[in-house]
């Protein structure tokens, strides 16, 4: 199994090299050169596997035995998923009106990113240990990515994590999930600006190839293929749990509709790959009023709005759903030249009209919808009233679809729950609902916190560079490195 770029300029990379990279050198995104198919008989033979076993089966299709032998892979995944608060790391909940919800938020930071991030961090540690080297993870975050990266990396060997968050623009729970880690490989910075502002110095640091090489500087956002890979298992698990595949025979498989709250489009990309692998999924990408993905599916209008709108579902307040490039590539029949033209135009002008053939393909694979803040609250309230079951505002975007597009009696549908409502207490209260805060959230208030203030300074880039160099220097002489508390 080798990897190539969606823009056609890179071929033959190994999983290891892709794992340690962000964008491909030609500006594209990494994808497997070949998408394996799963035979109906294979799917049936997996139908009673646990979530954890499914993650393992899926990963072993894309990570060759020579890179990580299967028993090592099993051990890595098992330790990645060991600290989740429900037995199989995820949970399927069945509610009234044929509404099934796949809860993916039982990791430490209470959002679905923990699942793929935990596994990815262990994969990194595995190779770093084997190669006796180190890496520094640098992420800017508008909410869930930073805390999940910290929770996944803290305490691992060979890795440091540097996170920059927009001061005052994330929830208290999100902030404290980042600042209350005291491990010496965790370095948290608050910057007085928006997450777009923070993006500027980070891009400059990543563009400094000397710095990147010297310190093994890397990102852990969903540009990273490994995050998408682990997420394939969400769709496989949902399918095997809900489709009654066991009761069927032959090549004809029942289908399942999966409704996905969508931001950077990593999760929905995993769904599209699973569909290409042979699982009959009907995929629905649901967004809030930041609706570029919805417009693209509806009319081929892949163009950015003037600015990001702040909504009640902040983790999907996204203007550039960068993983769409992977979906375009898949659906174009891996046409690197076409994707390169399209995406370079999009990067230049922030707008693109998807070619008609490709758009037709997109509509045949995805449907979509866009939900306002009122719609989010309406879905949260209705779900509570019918089931005494509280959903987070992102999950509500998917549940809204369920209430507005009723499922036919013979059809099966699954809504993906991407975060716990406990992370979004303010929205829950606005919707007129109440919430029992879980212990994991209540203890955050009493914990000691530390982070460095980057302020409004012009030179965030210099400050971060200095810090990265200091981490590198301390690691070289084998000393622990403490970010001086502020």
Ligand X SMILES: *Cc1c(COP(=O)(O)O)cnc(C)c1O
Please choose, out of 117-125, 174-182, 261-269, 383-391, the segment that lies near ligand X by the rule CB under 6 A.
261-269
- Supply the minimum distance, in Å, between the C-beta of residue 41 and ligand X: 31
Backbone phi and psi for residue 64, each to the nearest 5 degrees, phi listed first: -60, 145
CB atoms within 10 A of CB 79: 13
- Supply the minimum distance, in Å, between the C-beta of residue 109 and ligand X: 9
For residue 262, state whether it binds ligand X (rule: CB under 6 A). Answer: yes
Beta carbon nearer to ligand X, 128 or 142: 142
Beta carbon nearer to ligand X, 177 or 262: 262
Beta carbon nearer to ligand X, 234 or 340: 234
Output DSSP code: residue 246: G
Beta carbon nearer to ligand X, 188 or 318: 318
Comparing CA positions, the residue from 183, 175, 187, 106 lying closest to residue 144 is 175
Dist CA 254 CA 329 (whole Å): 27
Residues touching ligand X: how many (CB under 6 A)?
Answer: 16
Dist CA 255 CA 63 (whole Å): 28
**Do 112 and 104 meet the contact criterion of CB atoms below 8 Å apart?**
yes
Residues 401-440 that bind ligand X (CB under 6 A): 418-419
**Do 228 and 55 meet the contact criterion of CB atoms below 8 Å apart?**
no
Comparing CA positions, the residue from 485, 486, 483 lying closest to residue 136 is 483
CB atoms within 10 A of CB 222: 25
Residues 133-192 that bind ligand X (CB under 6 A): 144
Dist CA 109 CA 171 (whole Å): 13
Q: Tell the burial category of 161 from Cβ atoms under 10 Å away from its Cβ (0-12, 13-18, 19+).
A: buried
Work out which of 28, 166, 193, 266 binds ligand X, going by CB under 6 A. Answer: 266
Work out which of 220, 316, 365, 428 binds ligand X, going by CB under 6 A. Answer: 316
Beta carbon nearer to ligand X, 108 or 144: 144
Beta carbon nearer to ligand X, 365 or 419: 419
Please choose, out of 78-86, 172-180, 257-265, 430-438, the segment that lies near ligand X by the rule CB under 6 A.
257-265
**Per-residue binding letters, 84-103, with ligand X (x by CB under 6 A):** --------------------
Comparing CA positions, the residue from 331, 274, 276, 271 lying closest to residue 300 is 331
CB atoms within 10 A of CB 96: 9
* Three-class SS state of 400: helix
Work out which of 222, 226, 289, 290 binds ligand X, going by CB under 6 A. Answer: 222
Beta carbon nearer to ligand X, 253 or 435: 435
Write out the DSSP string of 261-287: E-SSSHHHHHHHHHHHTT--EEEEEEE
- Supply the minimum distance, in Å, between the C-beta of residue 107 and ligand X: 11
- Supply the minimum distance, in Å, between the C-beta of residue 265 and ligand X: 5
- Supply the minimum distance, in Å, between the C-beta of residue 261 and ligand X: 5
Beta carbon nearer to ligand X, 243 or 269: 269
3-class DSSP string for 303-371: ECCCCCCCCCCHHHCCCCCCCHHHHHHHHCCCCHHHHHHHHHHHHHHCEEECCHHHHHHHHHHEEEEEC
- Supply the minimum distance, in Å, between the C-beta of residue 157 and ligand X: 27
**Per-residue binding letters, 371-400, with ligand X (x by CB under 6 A):** -----------------------x------
Please choose, out of 131-139, 258-266, 400-408, 435-443, the segment that lies near ligand X by the rule CB under 6 A.
258-266
What length is written for the chain?
Answer: 486
Beta carbon nearer to ligand X, 215 or 401: 401
Beta carbon nearer to ligand X, 217 or 315: 315
Cα dihedral value 255, 260, 263, 266, nearest 10: -50
- Supply the minimum distance, in Å, between the C-beta of residue 263 and ligand X: 3
- Supply the minimum distance, in Å, between the C-beta of residue 251 and ligand X: 31
Work out which of 16, 113, 412, 413 binds ligand X, going by CB under 6 A. Answer: 113
- Supply the minimum distance, in Å, between the C-beta of residue 381 and ligand X: 19
CB atoms within 10 A of CB 129: 12
Strands 91-95 and 99-103, sheet pairing: antiparallel
Beta carbon nearer to ligand X, 28 or 263: 263
Comparing CA positions, the residue from 171, 198, 188, 103 lying closest to residue 310 is 171
Please choose, out of 38-46, 68-76, 264-272, 403-411, the segment that lies near ligand X by the rule CB under 6 A.
264-272
Beta carbon nearer to ligand X, 28 or 266: 266
Write out the DSSP string of 438-462: -HHHHHHHHS----EEEET-S-HHH
Dist CA 463 CA 479 (whole Å): 21
Residues 235-254 that bind ligand X (CB under 6 A): none
CA end-to-end span of the chain, whole Å?
A: 47
Residues 437-476 that bind ligand X (CB under 6 A): none
Beta carbon nearer to ligand X, 100 or 418: 418
Report the interface residues with ligand X, using CB under 6 A.
111, 113, 144, 222, 261-267, 315-316, 394, 418-419
């Amino acid at each position: 199994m080798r990897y190539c770029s969606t823009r056609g300029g890179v071929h033959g990379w190994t999983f290891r090299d892709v794992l340690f990279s962000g964008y491909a050198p030609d500006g594209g995104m990494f994808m497997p050169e070949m998408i394996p198919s799963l035979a109906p008989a294979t799917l049936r033979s997996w139908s009673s596997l646990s979530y954890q076993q499914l993650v393992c089966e899926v990963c072993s299709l894309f990570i060759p035995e020579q890179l990580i032998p299967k028993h090592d892979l099993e051990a890595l995944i098992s330790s990645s998923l060991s600290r989740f608060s429900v037995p199989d790391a995820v949970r399927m909940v069945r509610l009234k009106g044929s509404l099934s919800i796949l809860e993916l938020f039982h990791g430490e930071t209470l959002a679905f990113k923990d699942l793929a991030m935990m596994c990815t961090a262990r994969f990194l540690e595995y190779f770093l240990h084997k190669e006796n080297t180190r890496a520094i993870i640098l992420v800017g975050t508008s909410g869930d990515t930073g805390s999940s990266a910290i929770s996944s990396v803290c305490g691992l060997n060979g890795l440091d994590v540097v996170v920059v968050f927009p001061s005052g623009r994330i929830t208290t729970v999100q902030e404290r999930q980042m600042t209350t880690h005291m491990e010496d490989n965790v370095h948290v910075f608050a910057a007085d600006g928006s997450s777009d502002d923070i993006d500027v110095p980070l891009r400059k640091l990543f563009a400094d190839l000397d710095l990147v090489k010297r310190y093994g500087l890397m990102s852990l956002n969903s540009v990273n293929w490994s995050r998408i890979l682990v997420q394939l298992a969400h769709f496989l698990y949902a399918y095997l749990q809900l489709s009654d595949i066991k009761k069927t025979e032959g090549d004809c498989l029942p289908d399942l509709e999966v409704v996905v709250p969508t931001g950077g489009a990593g999760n929905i990309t995993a769904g599209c790959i699973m569909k290409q692998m042979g699982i009959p999924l009907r995929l629905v990408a649901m967004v809030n009023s930041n609706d570029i993905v919805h417009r693209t599916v509806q009319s081929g209008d892949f163009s950015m709005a003037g600015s990001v709108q702040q909504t009640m579902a902040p983790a999907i307040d996204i203007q550039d759903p960068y993983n769409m490039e992977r979906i375009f590539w898949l659906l174009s029949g891996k046409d690197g030249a076409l994707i390169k033209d399209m995406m370079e135009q999009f990067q230049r002008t922030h707008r693109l009209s998807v070619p008609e053939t490709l758009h037709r393909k997109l509509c045949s694979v995805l449907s979509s919808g866009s939900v306002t803040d009122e719609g989010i609250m309406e879905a949260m309230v209705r779900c509570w009233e019918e089931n005494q079951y509280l959903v987070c505002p992102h999950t509500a975007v998917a549940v809204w679809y369920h209430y507005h597009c009723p499922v036919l009696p013979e059809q099966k549908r699954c809504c993906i729950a991407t975060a716990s409502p406990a992370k979004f207490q303010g929205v829950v209260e606005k919707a007129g609902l109440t919430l029992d805060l879980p212990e994991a959230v209540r203890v955050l208030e009493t914990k000691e916190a530390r982070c460095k203030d980057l302020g409004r300074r012009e030179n965030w880039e210099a400050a971060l560079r200095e810090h990265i160099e200091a981490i590198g220097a301390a690691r070289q002489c084998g000393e622990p490195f403490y970010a001086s508390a502020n």
